[in-house]
Chains A and B, each alone.
Chain A
Amino acid sequence: MRKTGGQLIVLVAINCLVLLVGAAISGGSFLSIFNLQSMASQVPEIGLLAIGVMLAMCAGNGGMDLSGIALANLSGVLSAVLVTSVVSGTEHPAAFTFAYIAVAIAIGFLGGLMNGLLIARLNITPILCTLGTQMAFTGLAVVVSDGKAVSVGSPEPLSSIGNGLLFQIPIGFLIFAAAAVLMAGLLKYTPYGFWLMLTGTNPKAALYAGFPKSRVIITTYALSGTLSGLAGVVIAARNVNVKWDYGSSYLLIAILVAVMAGVRPEGGYGRVICVVLAAVALQLLSSVLNFGGLSNFVRDFAWGALLLTFLAVGRYDLVGILFPGNRQRAALMRTPHASKRES
């Protein structure tokens, strides 16, 4: 608990710091409503994928989902191909939107379910399994789209998801926030969340305690896949077109976000709120660098530095050092960890 609070504080502080720096170098235009909206509309894609990665990592036993962006692209592309062949987006925009979203999310769910079944039933190491499905999903997306971009167009409700505002907040961001709240609730208040974290902490104990381990893992990857499907919808809504190779850099960024958020790579711990804040922090940082006109190689460097900082925060009690008042309690809390590591 102590450690998690530290991560949260550092994330909040970094977000505020970057906002301040942005305001300073841009002469305030960084904090203009338009830019805040613009940045908020960019977060959901990577944020949704990062929550998926977090879920997989929490499952422990080397849990990882490398197929996220590939599945998101497949959902977007395949749904576009399927739905446009049945419903015309210009003639029946509402029906098209509804069908498009439903099909894309269903494809995401099925892809994730496939990952889960392969990992839980055939006992394939998650990182290898999702690497394989990643290539399979990408390949399928190339085949169904002939390697070209597929146009979704801007039928009205769908276009609003990508570009519209509700109470001055981009709708895409609201969807992301809603998904995050839902996942956080699921992890905190349902037996599934409880099982997931405990299975991740100690798979053997979970097995002897009679947890439905396979079902937990299948559910986890299916959820991750569903989030990818949702990311595919957001991408399509924002960009008018979907393409199989969109966001090839997202794969590593999503993992970066999850690690920054303090998700334990060994499994058993992760908080959705931290993932959201980490995704926002990365977005702010890259926007600040774009505002400052700095090279994008600087951005890669800054992200790397940030990642190392967060790993340090996770390992050492940096917040305790910065706020000595809490230090004693922190030391007390750390003792059991230390003894565990020695054993």
Chain B
Amino acid sequence: MRVKSKKVLMGAVVAALVTAGSVGSILAQDKPVIATVVKISGIPWFDRMETGVKAFAEQNPDVVASQSGPATADAAQQLQIVQDLVAKGVKALAVVPMDPAVLEGTLKRAMERGTIVVTHEADNQVNTNVDVEAFNNDAYGTALNERLAECMGKKGKWTTFVGSLGSRTHLQWVGAGEANAKKYPDMQLVDSNNESFDDANGTYEKAKEILRKHPDLKGFQTSAGNDVLGVGRAIDEAGLSGKVCLVGTGLPNPSADLLETGAITAIGFWDPKYAGMAMNSIAKLLVNGKEITDGMDLGVEGYNKVTVTKGAGAGLLVVGNGMVLVDKSTYKERLF
């Protein structure tokens, strides 16, 4: 028994080493690989980003661009993918961190190994060459809240949703929203910063609970891509469409029905397609040894004249102007 298992083991190890030696010398990747890693795969937001990554790959045949992401929303799973890609030897990483803090150690090691790191939705990421943001987060949060205040008639109870308390951009948006609402003394924030985990069903349940707890609630400001769907469904089912305002980040296509019924007042977004392209475009510039300068045109819609400042670490912070805010009457112009 023991002997047999040892034989199997020895044989396999020898075979593995031989294969490794022979194949390793033949294959050498000549085109630089840019790997995009998203928070979670299989949801509309990051599917849209993938179309951007694919479009970029088509426009730039001299690089290999691809996208991957964990099947569950867990920072540890994303960490594993990033680590494997670094070990695989990709030239550049374009990461949308689930939780920037968790990735710091691994991204640091990646950069020490010469991998170029570009991040998105993480302007506090220390270990990155460039963090690219679609727009100024405070301005976006303020714009969402201003639209909400307008719908609510500048008075009444309102609440906020974030993807998770670790999602820094989400907290920035609702933070800017809260600051904006202070202008209107009749607006009263209740039970703020509910966590949605970007899960429409969970958000739906939570929104129902909040509507039960506060029957006089007038407005929701949401952050993660699926939140408007969950909250919108709760509003719709409660027959409160048009009475309760809902403004949040969302995509036009999934939100179309709820925009039509009036359950969703307005959605704000930046097009993840162009964000994906912008990340890859910056990664390619860095791979080719180019510099990123203020006012530069990345050749991507919404990123034609980017603002470049110093980032949280040694890297740069690149901000585009890709904010879009649409409602029932205008969403069809941006349908994706």
Chain A residue with the shortest CB-CB distance to B22: A28
Closest 7 A/B residue pairs (Cβ): A28-B24, A27-B27, A16-B12, A149-B101, A290-B84, A38-B87, A241-B101
Q: A28-B21, A239-B102 are in contact. Are A20 and B12 (CB under 8 A)?
A: yes
Asked if A24 and B105 sit within 8 Å, CB to CB, the answer is no
Give bound CA distance, A54 to B57, whole Å.
46
Asked if B24 and A31 sit within 8 Å, CB to CB, the answer is yes
Of the residues A20, A32, A38, A249, contact of B83 by C-beta under 8 Å: A38
A220 at the binding interface (Cβ < 8 Å): no
Of the residues A45, A240, A250, A291, contact of B105 by C-beta under 8 Å: A240
B41 at the binding interface (Cβ < 8 Å): yes
Q: How many residue pairs bridge A and B at CB < 8 Å?
A: 167
What would 23 A/B residue contacts be, using CB atoms closer than 8 Å?
A: A13-B8, A16-B8, A27-B23, A27-B24, A27-B29, A28-B23, A39-B87, A162-B105, A238-B106, A239-B102, A239-B103, A239-B105, A241-B101, A241-B104, A247-B76, A287-B80, A287-B87, A290-B88, A291-B84, A295-B42, A296-B70, A297-B71, A299-B71
Q: Using an 8 Å CB-CB cutoff, how does the interface string of A263-280 with B read, 1 for contact, 0 for none? A: 000000000000000000
Asked if A23 and B16 sit within 8 Å, CB to CB, the answer is yes
Asked if A29 and B89 sit within 8 Å, CB to CB, the answer is yes
A336 at the binding interface (Cβ < 8 Å): no
Q: A13-B12, A38-B86 are in contact. Are A248 and B74 (CB under 8 A)?
A: yes
Within 8 A of A (CB), among B86-111: 86-89, 99, 101-106, 108-109
Give bound CA distance, A227 to B42, whole Å.
34
Of the residues B20, B25, B28, B76, contact of A246 by C-beta under 8 Å: B76
Chain A residue with the shortest CB-CB distance to B112: A163
Give bound CA distance, A31 to B88, whole Å.
10
Q: A147-B165, A149-B166, A241-B102 are in contact. Are A17 and B12 (CB under 8 A)?
A: yes
Inter-chain contacts of B189 with A (CB < 8 A): none
A19 at the binding interface (Cβ < 8 Å): yes
Within 8 A of B (CB), among A236-254: 238-241, 243, 245-250
Q: A23-B20, A28-B27, A163-B109 are in contact. Are A295 and B166 (CB under 8 A)?
A: no
By CB atoms of chain A within 10 A, which of B17, B19, B109 has the most?
B19
Inter-chain contacts of B314 with A (CB < 8 A): none
B15 at the binding interface (Cβ < 8 Å): yes
Chain B residue with the shortest CB-CB distance to A325: B4
Of the residues A162, A238, A291, contact of B88 by C-beta under 8 Å: A291
Asked if B68 and A296 sit within 8 Å, CB to CB, the answer is yes
Residue total for A at the interface (Cβ-Cβ under 8 A): 57
B69 at the binding interface (Cβ < 8 Å): yes
B323 at the binding interface (Cβ < 8 Å): no
Asked if B87 and A9 sit within 8 Å, CB to CB, the answer is no
Measured between C-beta atoms, what is the minimum distance from B167 to chain A in Å?
11
Measured between C-beta atoms, what is the minimum distance from B107 to chain A in Å?
10
Inter-chain contacts of B87 with A (CB < 8 A): 32, 34-35, 38-39, 287
Chain B residue with the shortest CB-CB distance to A45: B76
Inter-chain contacts of B101 with A (CB < 8 A): 149, 151, 239-241, 243
Give bound CA distance, A149 to B19, whole Å.
43
Asked if B72 and A249 sit within 8 Å, CB to CB, the answer is yes
Which residues of A are in contact with B by a Cβ distance under 8 Å? 2, 5, 8-9, 12-13, 15-17, 19-20, 23-24, 26-32, 34-35, 38-39, 41-42, 45, 147-149, 151, 154, 162-163, 238-241, 243, 245-250, 286-287, 290-291, 293, 295-297, 299-300, 323, 326
Inter-chain contacts of B5 with A (CB < 8 A): 5, 8-9, 12
A-B contacts besides A13-B12, A28-B23, 8 pairs, CB < 8 Å: A29-B24, A30-B20, A31-B16, A34-B89, A34-B113, A162-B105, A243-B102, A323-B4
Chain A residue with the shortest CB-CB distance to B164: A245
Give bound CA distance, A39 to B84, whole Å.
7
Chain A residue with the shortest CB-CB distance to B165: A147
Asked if B41 and A297 sit within 8 Å, CB to CB, the answer is yes
Specify the main secondary structure of chain B where it touches its partner: helix
Q: A239-B104, A296-B41 are in contact. Are A148 and B27 (CB under 8 A)?
A: no
Measured between C-beta atoms, what is the minimum distance from A109 to chain B in Å?
23
Inter-chain contacts of A297 with B (CB < 8 A): 41-42, 71
B77 at the binding interface (Cβ < 8 Å): yes
Measured between C-beta atoms, what is the minimum distance from A133 to chain B in Å?
21
Of the residues A20, A32, A35, A240, contact of B104 by C-beta under 8 Å: A240
Inter-chain contacts of A9 with B (CB < 8 A): 4-5, 8
Q: Using an 8 Å CB-CB cutoff, how does the interface string of B108-151 with A read, 1 for contact, 0 for none? A: 11000100000000000000000000000000000000000000
Measured between C-beta atoms, what is the minimum distance from A4 to chain B in Å?
10
B9 at the binding interface (Cβ < 8 Å): yes
Asked if B88 and A20 sit within 8 Å, CB to CB, the answer is no
By CB atoms of chain B within 10 A, which of A295, A296, A300 has the most?
A296
Measured between C-beta atoms, what is the minimum distance from A260 to chain B in Å?
17
Chain A residue with the shortest CB-CB distance to B193: A147
Inter-chain contacts of B166 with A (CB < 8 A): 147-149, 243, 245
Inter-chain contacts of A249 with B (CB < 8 A): 72, 74, 76-77
B292 at the binding interface (Cβ < 8 Å): no
B66 at the binding interface (Cβ < 8 Å): yes
Inter-chain contacts of A295 with B (CB < 8 A): 41-42, 68, 71
